[in-house]
């Protein structure tokens, strides 16, 4: 599959839906042997293509944005980390929590999600661009995530994310895999849970990402079927130079599914379509969106 190219990403949901509906009609016509004057009838393969047209994948309208201060630690009875005290002489730190809503066709979830976030990409002075200081999901926690029902994650005494397996896991209602991280993360601005511990869950996924310390972060979450309740939740601790008065985040996502995992009948029917449409299906019917958020950084 082709990789996500940030400069070319835009919201393709309208065009994608149109293409899939046209493909569904073509599949029905190709699958139905018509007598003279007989109307085309919907086939199972055409119905599946129409269902795929209703997929959605999108960022939240506006993420949670919270400035991290000494008080976040003190209010929880914790010592202020020495690295944090030293770094705040030159930088401000912000917690950004960006939920993603994935709503795929019921029996065939997304299998791959690419996300990229760039921080102040249009800045004229590169030295003043924010950097990703810590991120979630992070591949160093991948094995713990696979082996557990969730992790307790916190900003530790070294001002780094650390994680441990959540004790005594309990069942969660539908949507709980997302809510586990989301409830705590959304509450960060009001009750100090930005420091943690907060619960983080993501199931059966291979996680890859760019290193921290860069002016952008990119995740690739692969190998899992992401249903509505498994939507990953993205957290970035941003390190912002004191002189920087705002942060523009240009964020793009691309959600795909493995076509080879689809129904055999649909795979066979797609072979009869035009080459460009076949490629679209074989590339995983990507669904893309790009957004820009602006956050203040003043006191």
Please list the ranges in the chain whose pLDDT falls under 50: 1-2, 5, 169-192
| In contact, 290 and 250? CB cutoff 8 Å | yes
User: Nearest-CA neighbor of 110 among 280, 18, 1, 231?
Assistant: 231
**C-alpha to C-alpha distance for 135 and 27, rounded to whole angstroms:** 43
pLDDT for position 12: 92
123, 159, 211 from 86: Cα distances, Å: 25, 11, 22
DSSP category for residue 108: S
149 occurs within a structural domain: yes
246: part of which helix (H) or strand (E)?
strand 246-256
pLDDT at residue 8 in the model? 56
3-state SS, residue 17: helix
Q: Answer whether residue 29 is part of any domain.
A: no
pLDDT of residue 176: 34
**Domain that includes residue 122, residue range:** 59-259
Nearest by Cα to 180 from 199, 163, 204, 153: 199
Give the Cα separation of 181 and 198 in Å (integer). Answer: 7
Assigned domain for 20 exists: no
Q: Cα–Cα distance between 163 and 143 in angstroms, integer?
A: 11
DSSP state of 80: P
| 297 occurs within a structural domain | no
Assigned domain for 271 exists: no
Closest CA to 157 of 78, 235, 42: 78
Total tally of structural domains belonging to the chain: 1
pTM for this one?
0.84
pLDDT score, position 106: 75
188 assigned to some structural domain: yes
Residue 197: asked if its preceding bond is cis (omega within 30°), the reply is yes
Assess if residue 245 is contained within a domain.
yes
Domain membership flag for residue 234 = yes
Q: How confident is the model at residue 177, as a pLDDT?
A: 34
């Amino acid at each position: 599959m082709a990789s996500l190219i940030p400069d070319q990403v835009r919201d393709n949901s309208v065009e994608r839906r149109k293409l899939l509906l046209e493909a569904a009609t073509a599949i029905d016509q190709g699958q139905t042997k018509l007598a003279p004057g007989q109307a085309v009838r919907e086939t199972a393969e055409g119905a599946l293509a129409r269902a795929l047209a209703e997929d959605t994948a999108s960022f939240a309208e506006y993420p949670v944005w919270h400035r991290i201060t000494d008080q976040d630690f003190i209010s929880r009875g914790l010592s202020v980390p020495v690295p944090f005290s030293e770094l705040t002489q030159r930088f401000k730190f912000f917690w950004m929590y960006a939920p993603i809503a994935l709503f795929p066709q019921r029996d065939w979830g997304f299998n791959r999600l690419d996300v990229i976030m760039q921080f102040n990409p249009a800045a004229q002075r590169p030295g003043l661009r924010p950097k990703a200081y810590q991120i979630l999901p992070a591949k160093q926690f991948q094995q713990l995530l696979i082996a557990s029902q969730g992790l307790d994650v916190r900003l530790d005494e070294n001002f780094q994310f650390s994680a441990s397996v959540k004790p005594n896991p309990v069942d969660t209602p539908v949507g709980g895999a997302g809510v586990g991280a989301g409830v705590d993360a959304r509450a960060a601005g009001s009750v100090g849970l930005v420091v943690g511990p907060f619960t983080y869950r993501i199931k059966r996924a291979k996680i890859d990402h760019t290193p921290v310390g860069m002016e952008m972060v990119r995740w690739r979450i692969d190998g899992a079927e992401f249903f509505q309740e498994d939507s990953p939740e993205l957290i970035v601790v941003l390190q912002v130079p004191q002189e920087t008065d705002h942060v523009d985040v240009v964020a793009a996502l691309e959600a795909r599914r493995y076509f080879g995992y689809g129904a055999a009948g649909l795979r066979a029917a797609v072979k009869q379509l035009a080459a460009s449409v076949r490629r679209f299906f074989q590339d995983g019917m990507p669904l893309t969106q790009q957004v820009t958020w602006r956050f203040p950084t003043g006191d």
